[in-house]
Amino acid sequence: MWSLKFHSLPLFLTLVALICQQYCDAKVMMEYIGATGKPVTFDPVPVEEGIDFHFLLGFAIDADPSGNAQNGVFSPYWAQTLTPDSVAAVKQKHPNVKVLASLSGWSLGNKVLRWYNPKDNQLWISNAFSSLKSISEEYHLDGIDIDYENFPRNNASFAHCIGELITLLKNNSVISVATIAPFHTTVLPYIELFNNYADVIDYVNHQFYTDKVRRPKGYLKAFQLRASQFHKDKLLPSYEVNGRGIQGDAFFDALNLLEANGFGVNGVMIYSADASSSNNYYYESKSQAYLINNTTRV
Ligand SMILES: *[C@@H]1O[C@H](CO)[C@@H](O)[C@H](O)[C@H]1NC(C)=O
Ligand SMILES: *[C@@H]1O[C@H](CO)[C@@H](O)[C@H](O)[C@H]1NC(C)=O
Ligand SMILES: *[C@@H]1O[C@H](CO)[C@@H](O)[C@H](O)[C@H]1NC(C)=O
Ligand SMILES: *[C@@H]1O[C@H](CO)[C@@H](O)[C@H](O)[C@H]1NC(C)=O
């Protein structure tokens, strides 16, 4: 046994290195899907090899169907067409795909969702851990994205509860990836979360389309600001299809301007596949072509 292990170690390390070359340091694509209620599926979304492609399911919510908070017990509310079998299938077809549950989002039905201070933080964390573990197992998920969008004035419990939740999910190998999605008016609680738990946060999907910049120069300024609040190498530029902020190919001019100013474009986040079906996933294709064109990661 021992000699077998000994002899196969170099081979094993070579294999790991080969697989890693392809996936570990690949650039990343983040794509929200399933948040609008349209019967969307994974199949038509273009997924390129050599990209670490993450689908973010919108959303897993700590609420019953009427929007009443459930003390940390999350349920899936993304489009019902995104079934556990379809997640398994897209991951089998593309080994570079990961699927994450995004937590909360803006609203459920016509009820606006918000972070609330749990009566008992420990109980909230434990409920969230168990419910997300069971959703992850059922849906074959790889991670979570944090997308709380409304906060009470006193929001200190957010950084603590969410940071401990991510840590616990990672420590128990329930998830391997965690991302956060601050926007213009919610950066403060996310900065606190990031400052205390950066080790377990892989990417920052800042919603640049809420920063109200429509030109590459403004985009660069917004990126500089967010890079100073989070970590520049974990921060991903983002684009809202048929939405707010910079639109059209000016987005790619903005990416060039970021690189010309020393910011590595390690990935792109797009909101969302639900809207992109109307333009044949133009921005998903072009973003991946952009990322593949230059595989140097910072
Ligand atoms: C996670 O694991 C690390 C290292 O074993 C340990 O220091 C930390 O306390 C654990 N955190 C949680 C929340 O379990
Ligand atoms: C969160 O709390 C901080 C510090 O108390 C406060 O400055 C900030 O306005 C709060 N953020 C939001 C989005 O309410
Ligand atoms: C390639 O990308 C890296 C990181 O995104 C960047 O630093 C570098 O300037 C780019 N190189 C070219 C030739 O665009
Ligand atoms: C890829 O890089 C080349 C050389 O820098 C450039 O001419 C071309 O437009 C780039 N393609 C994309 C899709 O960004």
Q: Which atom of ligand 4 lies closest to the CA of 289?
A: 13
Q: What pLDDT is attached to residue 104?
A: 98
Q: What pLDDT is attached to residue 4?
A: 47
The finding on whether 63 has its CB within 6 A of some atom of ligand 1 is: no
pLDDT at 21 over 60: no
**What tens digit of pLDDT does each residue of 51-64 get?**
999 999 999 999 99
**What tens digit of pLDDT does each residue of 142-167 get?**
999 999 999 999 999 999 999 999 99
Domain locations along the chain: 25-293
Using a CB cutoff of 8 Å and minimum separation of 24, what contacts does 152-158 make? 152/114, 152/115, 152/116, 152/117, 154/117, 155/115, 155/117, 155/188, 155/189, 156/192, 157/115, 157/117, 157/118, 157/121, 158/115, 158/189, 158/192, 158/193
| Distance between CA atoms of residues 220 and 257, nearest Å | 7
- H or E, element range at 104: strand 97-105
Identify which ligand lies nearest to the alpha carbon of 170.
Answer: 1
**Residue 149 a catalytic site member:** yes
**What tens digit of pLDDT does each residue of 215-267 get?**
999 999 999 999 999 999 999 999 999 999 999 999 999 999 999 999 999 99
* Annotated catalytic residue within 31, 48, 149, 164: 149
Q: Which CATH superfamily is domain 25-293 in?
A: Glycosidases (3.20.20.80)
pTM of this structure: 0.90
The finding on whether 259 has its CB within 6 A of some atom of ligand 3 is: yes
Q: What pLDDT is attached to residue 10?
A: 57
| Distance between CA atoms of residues 103 and 180, nearest Å | 9
Q: What pLDDT is attached to residue 2?
A: 45
pLDDT at 183 over 50: yes
